[in-house]
Chains A and B, each alone.
Chain A
């Protein structure tokens, strides 16, 4: 430590750490939550501890799992559809410049419209059930995947492809050693955004018109004014979406740093 630094008294290192800040933040959130409970009463909100206990009870109950399974399966199918066709369409639009140029503003416009309004149309086409949920989830998730993939493909440096051609690399090796590494970080960002939007789409469709799944149970709980169920399911969904996203974000950062 230099003399200059030593002159100034410094706070202990654990007080300046990131962990400390996060802990303070978490404590603040819990305090606010408890405060909201005190202000609104048991009708408006359950306590953090109560929510946690009820969540544990929910996870142990037999009724919860079929609904969780219904939501999860619809979500996963939608995600697979959104990811695979999104990457495919995005790659085509990226390689074929004119189609990309024609499609981009339309895609951006679709991205920004409230797609909830389209749900009745989806229901009329697919009927109430898992097909409509999957279609609606995929509709939400596919646009960002297309847009990010398209930009990733467009931004491949031409020199990479030229060098590959000079070295007579083509076909599968070209894809594996040049195209994939060059586009992966951006495509992954698209998949991360697509993940969140697909989840929103799936849950929304369950909340509006469905007879199963977590969204349906949530709507039922509003009707019965069952605050325990509402709070614990909200908590579970936030915890699930949040933790998966933290993981995806970490991978995302790593890919981008390496690129």
Chain B
């Protein structure tokens, strides 16, 4: 283990311990925050009771649909924009400015258009994630070395085999970044929307628990969402490292 990693673990454990201590000793009141150990216990009870399985399933389904749509549409539109330089010239500044627009401001509009159900939040998650995928697909395709493409042509490789064995491997690290961002953004979009206004899901339950002064449930749910996102991100990161190592990059 690297010294920095060891030190990081020490710092994180110390931070959690400090929060635990200040909650237990009353420096932070129980109405503001419950101790981390209580959060874990409360989350365990919640999961065991099965009370929230519906909301968990609902949120994760919405995230998966938004994520799947964003990756598919993002990769395709990235490929199309890459193939048409003139379209690219117009699209580039728009893509660069995309994340400056708070996508959530469209949520009220989508609720009115699509109804107060799961579709508006999927739409927000999708819109949040799709641009990241498009931008990174473009970046990846830009990095495919022309020499490799020429070599492929010399070997008379068809479109499909060129894509599979030349373009995809070269663009993979960037596509991976796009996928990682797309996951994070679909979560932000879906949970954020549930939080603002919705009929169910984890974000809704957090908001409900907040208004109900039910700190035990609220903190347990927050811990659950953060845990899920962190685990997904870390596994992707580990997989990415394996891929990079196989290509001898790191």
Contact = CB atoms under 8 A, between A and B. Distances in A.
A113 B226 contact: yes
Given A219-B108, A230-B109, A246-B97, A119 B89 contact: no
Given A118-B222, A241-B102, A249-B96, A123 B210 contact: yes
Interface in B44-59: none
B31 interface: yes
A112 B229 contact: yes
Chain A interface residue number, banded: 35 or more
Interface string B226-249: 100110010000000000000000
Contacts of B90: 18, 21-22, 24-25
A114 interface: yes
Contacts of A242: 97, 100-101
Interface in A107-156: 109, 112-121, 123-125
B67 to A, nearest CB: 13
Interface in B196-226: 196-197, 203, 206-207, 209-210, 215, 218-219, 221-222, 225-226
Contacts of A102: 4, 7-8, 11
Given A113-B226, A116-B192, A230-B109, A106 B8 contact: yes
A117 B225 contact: yes
Nearest to A105: B8
B222 A120 contact: yes
B123 interface: no
Contact of B106 (A22, A234, A245, A246): A234
B32 A125 contact: yes
A241 to B, nearest CB: 5
Given A114-B192, A117-B203, A204 B226 contact: no
B interface: dominant SS = helix
B97 A200 contact: no
B4 A98 contact: yes
A21 to B, nearest CB: 4
A10 to B, nearest CB: 15
Nearest to A193: B99
A102 B86 CA distance: 44
B100 A195 contact: yes
A37 to B, nearest CB: 11
A43 interface: yes
Contact of A119 (B102, B187, B195): B195
B102 A203 contact: yes
Residue among B90, B187, B191 with the highest chain A CB neighbour number at 10 A: B90
A112 B109 CA distance: 26
A234 B109 CA distance: 9
Interface string A209-253: 000000000110110010100110110011001101110010000
13 contacts: A21-B86, A24-B90, A43-B112, A105-B8, A106-B8, A113-B184, A117-B195, A120-B218, A199-B102, A207-B104, A230-B108, A241-B102, A245-B97
